Amino acid sequence: EQRTLSTRGAPVGDGGRGASLTVGDTAPPQLVERAFDSAIGVIRRQEVHGVSASCPRDVPGRRHVRRAQVAAVINNGDMSRWSVADAPSLSGRTALVTGATSGLGLETAVALASRGARVLVAGRDAGRTDAAVARASGAAAEGGSAEPLALDLASLASVRAAVDEVRARLDALDVLVNNAGIMAPPFATTEDGFETQIGTNHLGHFALTAGLMPLLLAADAPRVVNVSSAAHRMGSLQPDDLHYEN
């Protein structure tokens, strides 16, 4: 019996060789790959809503997925036709974006404000944070806004101060986007003694998320988005030596 899971035209079904994720009957392979890279949060074999899923064998660069929610809107297999204008109104919702002074973080803050959200723009440099706030505010739709939040994820004291500040400003937090990150810095440690990249990218965000959890749970439909990259495919984790001391 065929099992299916449909997500805006992307059914997951069991074709006899194990369940396969297909994106549109006529979508070329490169669009399927793009949909995978955009929509799948965790790579390698797991389950999507209880259905074991993998990309069809005839698609280059097959991926196995594990307990991942399809996060992107797939319009007949063509991601190129989706834009921020297709996102629903976020009026009345509040979001916090880390690393929001440049790159994906800045664009995320601008996009959320443009859909009517109140956006807390988190950054460690006051000047760059203010510039990002100005840009997001300029793009804000009616009801949308942007405001700065001082946050240095390499410092647990800064994380605690930011959590206290957010708790003072908000009764609930709808969206937390853990986007900030550094890549391959020279070896150093944070003021708390953690290796810099582990301390900033992982432990700082963990502490931030934990501290904001009461506000997230107070929202009607809270969401935490952890931004990652393809770098995990090239490296490995050494749990016995997280801080590269040996």
Cβ(170)–Cβ(94) below 8 Å = yes
The 3-class secondary structure across 51-69, one letter per residue, is EECECCCCCCCCCEECCCC
pLDDT of 1:
34
pLDDT of 114:
97
Which residue stretches of the chain have pLDDT < 70?
1-80
For 196-214, how does the pLDDT look when each residue is reduced to its tens digit (9 = 90+)?
Answer: 888 888 899 999 999 999 9
pLDDT of 57:
41
Q: What are phi and psi of 123, to 5 degrees?
A: -160, 160
pTM value is 0.68
pLDDT of 79:
58
pLDDT of 80:
64
